[in-house]
């Protein structure tokens, strides 16, 4: 019994250190580091998140994936695909940060951000 526990612990240790390709992560159904450079992340299945600005003014916002943050902007009365951002967070002004998912639509109206899954 003790020997089998040792073998299992050794296998798990070796497996955790083994490099895993993006295709393998997708096949296994795990997302180890979703974000800008991980186009096969399972969180990206479906349509990418979308940001719609219904206001008559442009806004600055930021997308954070892991330790990487990008500053972006959206024009007045416009729409943007947020491709490659599933699993990341979206922040707009004083609004609470929102985690993005595939098939999610986020709308800016009167400077307020609301997000809904389709």
Beta bridge partners of 109: 112
| 27 within a domain of the structure (yes/no) | no
In the chain, the number of structural domains is 1
List the domain range (segments joined by +) for residue 107: 42-117
The length of the chain is 118
What kind and span of H or E run contains 105? strand 104-109
pLDDT, one tens digit per residue, over 85-115 is: 999 999 999 999 999 999 999 999 999 999 9
The residue assigned the tokens 């922040």 is 91
Checking if the pLDDT of 39 tops 50, the result is no
| 8 within a domain of the structure (yes/no) | no
Q: What is the rounded CA–CA span in Å between residue 53 and residue 106?
A: 9
The whole-model pTM stands at 0.64
| 105 within a domain of the structure (yes/no) | yes
Q: What is the rounded CA–CA span in Å between residue 108 and residue 87?
A: 20
| 9 within a domain of the structure (yes/no) | no
3-state secondary structure of 106: strand
The whole-number pLDDT of residue 27 equals: 45
Q: What is the rounded CA–CA span in Å between residue 77 and residue 85?
A: 21
**Mean pLDDT, residues 64-79:** 97
| 80 within a domain of the structure (yes/no) | yes
- Residue 48 pLDDT grade (very low, low, confident, very high; cuts 50, 70, 90): very high
């Amino acid at each position: 019994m003790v020997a089998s526990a040792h073998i299992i612990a050794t296998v798990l240790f070796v497996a955790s250190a083994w490099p895993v390709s993006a295709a393998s992560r997708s096949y296994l159904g795990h997302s180890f580091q979703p974000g800008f450079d991980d186009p096969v992340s399972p969180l990206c299945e479906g349509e990418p998140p979308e940001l719609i600005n219904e206001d008559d003014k442009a806004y600055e916002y930021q997308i954070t994936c892991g330790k990487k943050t990008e500053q972006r902007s959206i024009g007045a009365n416009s729409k943007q695909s947020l491709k490659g951002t599933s699993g990341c967070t979206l922040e707009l002004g004083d609004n609470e940060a929102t985690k993005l998912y595939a098939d999610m639509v986020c709308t800016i109206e009167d400077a307020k951000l609301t997000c809904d899954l389709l």
